[in-house]
């Protein structure tokens, strides 16, 4: 079994995807205990070829899911990856991240050892938001098993992280660690190009009012239900 699974939907970013994976391996204390769980669109030949290349080099450390005919909403992609993991600890990764901290994997695992029920959202410094906000973070499988998702499959772009932060804070299981830096090389921070993938996400952001979905009575009710489910596990 692996120690940590990196969940990473990816689209046409083969160079930055490999850079993310290599940075995770090169800084980890136990690189052979890392798993990369990829979700790739079936029509994205470039990413499929890169995934095949990585599988040849890293074997079972690479776990690939290729999309079917159904077009999945973005906020469900990490959930699909969750169903495939071979470890108990997961990190909601992206193909524009760089792991900067030596032994980051060991440091993350230590946090989960502090909680018997394993309900925790642990987020590292991303080089931009710091403690203010966690866009990517670590979960235990128990979170996914309890709710059926990391965040609900209702958002096209953004707000999954807001939802997770709200729920984890409500159950007092939201932890920030400045001791781990996983730098987010986002184009809005001036750290990467406004490429085709970023343009598509930006277009969706303009077309769909995800903030309205986030603030809707239905989502608020869903959040309350998820808080209750997690609290039940915590109080057992």
Q: pLDDT digit string (tens) for 203-217?
A: 888 888 999 999 999
Residue entry with tokens 């930055």: 16
Q: Which residues contact 128 (CB under 8 A, 6 or more apart)?
A: 184, 186, 189
> Are 31 and 3 in contact, with CB atoms under 8 Å apart?
no
**Residue 76 CB partners (closer than 8 Å, separation 6+):** 149, 153
Q: Of 56-70, 130-144, 193-207, give the range with the top mean pLDDT.
A: 130-144
Question: How do residues 153-198 score in pLDDT, each as one tens digit?
Answer: 999 888 999 999 999 999 999 999 999 999 999 888 889 888 888 8
pLDDT mean over 92-106: 98
- How confident is the model at residue 148, as a pLDDT? 97
pTM more than 0.85 = yes
pLDDT given for residue 204 in this prediction: 81
pLDDT at 178: 98
Percent of the chain with pLDDT over 90: 86
Give the pLDDT mean for 127-141.
96
27-57 burial string, b = 16+ CB within 10 Å, else e? bbeeeebbbbbbbbbeebeebbebbeebbee
pLDDT higher than 90, residue 23: yes
What are the residues facing 8 on neighbouring strands?
Answer: 38
Q: Among 19-23, 69-73, 90-94, 117-121, which stretch is predicted with the lowest mean pLDDT?
A: 69-73
Instruction: Return the beta strands (E) in 62-105 as ranges.
Output: 62-66, 89-92, 97-99
| 28, pLDDT greater than 80 | yes
* Residue 127 scores a pLDDT above 80: yes
Mean pLDDT of 79-91: 96
For residues 50-75, average pLDDT: 92
Per-residue confidence (pLDDT) for residue 53, from 0 to 100? 97
Question: Where in the chain are the domains?
Answer: 4-234
Averaged pLDDT for residues 47-59: 97
pLDDT at 71: 81
Number of neighbours of residue 178 by Cβ within 10 angstroms: 10
pLDDT (tens digit, 9 = 90+) per residue, 179-191? 999 999 988 888 9
In this predicted structure, the answer to whether residue 70 has a pLDDT above a threshold of 80 is no
CATH hierarchy code of domain 4-234: 3.90.550.10
Where do we find the tokens 């990856």? Answer: 81
């Amino acid at each position: 079994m692996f120690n940590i699974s990196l969940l990473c939907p990816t689209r046409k970013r083969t160079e930055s995807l490999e850079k993310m994976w290599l940075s995770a391996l090169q800084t980890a204390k136990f690189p052979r205990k890392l798993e990369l769980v990829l979700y790739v669109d079936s029509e994205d030949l470039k990413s499929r070829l890169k995934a095949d290349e990585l599988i040849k080099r890293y074997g079972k450390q690479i776990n690939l899911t290729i999309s079917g005919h159904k077009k999945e909403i973005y906020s469900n992609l990490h959930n699909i990856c969750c169903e495939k993991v071979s470890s108990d600890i997961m990190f909601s990764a992206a193909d524009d991240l760089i792991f900067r901290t030596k032994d980051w994997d060991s440091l993350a695992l230590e946090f989960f050892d502090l909680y018997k029920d394993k309900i925790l959202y642990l987020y590292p410094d991303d080089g931009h938001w710091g403690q203010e906000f966690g866009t990517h973070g670590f979960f235990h499988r128990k979170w996914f098993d309890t709710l059926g998702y990391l965040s609900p499959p209702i958002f096209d772009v953004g707000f999954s992280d807001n939802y997770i932060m709200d729920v984890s804070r409500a159950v007092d299981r939201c932890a920030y660690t400045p001791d781990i830096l996983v730098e987010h090389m986002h184009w809005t921070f001036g750290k990467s190009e406004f490429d085709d993938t970023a343009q598509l996400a930006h277009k969706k952001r303009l077309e769909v009012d995800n903030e309205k979905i986030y603030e809707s009575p239905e989502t608020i009710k869903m959040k309350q239900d998820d808080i209750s489910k997690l609290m039940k596990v915590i109080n057992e």
